[in-house]
């Protein structure tokens, strides 16, 4: 216990799925959590559950595509918890659609949330992390930031961008003691992907070459995020942590 004791951590998209699992895991290990999400109802519910378990958390309604919302979120973390030690850029959206049927509006929306949101967050926390002498930024990419699959071109483009953006940011931030790394989940049983796992035929197609022959659990991704948030990963910078059950092994 206490692997991130006293650290101030922002988790975007923290109301459900991987984000919520991250908030719960990090809080159990002693962090002060700012749970940020655009869904106020679910966000407040998740925050209250963390607080009921005796852990420190607050909710902030947040739009990752808004520059001003990022400024307000960072200011909130600074006022309440003295700054930001860790940022988990988890918020994202999934689009499963043939490329030829994907509209420009859909394309822009996926890139705006998944890529621009990550850029804005990574930029927003720089000064507070620098003031604190360092920090950890964890960007959620995907196996689809590493390999291709049909009917996911927009999503793959966004997650591939997050992968290389993380490396670029790492080269700029490392001298300030700020480590930037990416996490690449495989198929995870979350509300975002649950509809893909309902029918056996679709489930088999989506899991594809996953060696463990099952979808992952949000808690399994949260474990990787906890490691990167902790000082145990102090020599990891610009790395890709793949947690995919062997999907990208072949």
Residues with catalytic function: 155
Can you tell me the distance from the alpha carbon of 190 to that of 93, in angstroms, rounded to the nearest whole number? 12
Q: Which of 89, 81, 101 is nearest to 12 (CA)?
A: 89
Which residues contact residue 11 at a Cβ distance below 8 angstroms, ignoring those fewer than 6 apart? 19, 22, 23, 26, 33, 34, 35, 36, 88, 90
Can you tell me the distance from the alpha carbon of 112 to that of 152, in angstroms, rounded to the nearest whole number? 16
Please list, residue by residue across 104-133, b when 16 or more beta carbons sit within 10 angstroms of its beta carbon and e when fewer do. eeebebbbebbbbbbbbbbebbbebbbebe
- Kindly list the distances between the CA atom of residue 97 and the CA atoms of 51, 130, 181, 248, in Å, as whole numbers in the listed order: 39, 41, 28, 21
Tokens of 7: 């650290």
Torsion, Cα of 103, 109, 114, 119 (10° steps): 120
Q: Are strands 57-61 and 178-185 parallel, antiparallel or unpaired?
A: unpaired
């Amino acid at each position: 216990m206490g692997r991130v004791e006293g650290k101030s951590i922002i988790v975007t998209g923290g109301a459900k799925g991987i984000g919520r699992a991250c908030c719960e895991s990090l809080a159990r290990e002693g962090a002060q959590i700012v749970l940020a999400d655009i869904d106020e109802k679910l966000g407040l519910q998740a925050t209250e559950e963390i607080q009921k378990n005796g852990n420190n958390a607050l909710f902030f309604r947040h739009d990752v595509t808004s520059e001003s919302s990022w400024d307000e979120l960072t200011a909130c973390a600074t006022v309440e918890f003295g700054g930001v030690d860790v940022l988990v850029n988890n918020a994202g959206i999934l689009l499963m659609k043939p490329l030829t049927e994907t509209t420009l509006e859909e394309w822009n929306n996926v890139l705006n949330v998944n890529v621009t949101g990550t850029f804005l967050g990574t930029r927003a926390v720089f000064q507070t992390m620098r003031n604190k002498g360092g920090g950890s930024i964890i960007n959620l990419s995907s196996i689809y930031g590493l390999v291709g699959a049909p009917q996911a071109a927009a999503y793959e483009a966004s997650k591939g961008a997050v992968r290389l953006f993380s490396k670029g940011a790492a080269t700029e931030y490392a001298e300030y003691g700020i480590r930037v790394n990416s996490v690449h989940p495989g198929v995870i049983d979350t509300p975002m992907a649950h509809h893909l796992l309902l029918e056996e035929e679709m489930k088999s197609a989506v899991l594809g070459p996953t060696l463990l022959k099952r979808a992952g659990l949000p808690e399994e991704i949260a474990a990787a995020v906890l490691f990167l948030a902790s000082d145990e990963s102090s020599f990891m910078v610009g790395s890709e942590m793949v947690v995919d059950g062997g999907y990208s092994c072949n």
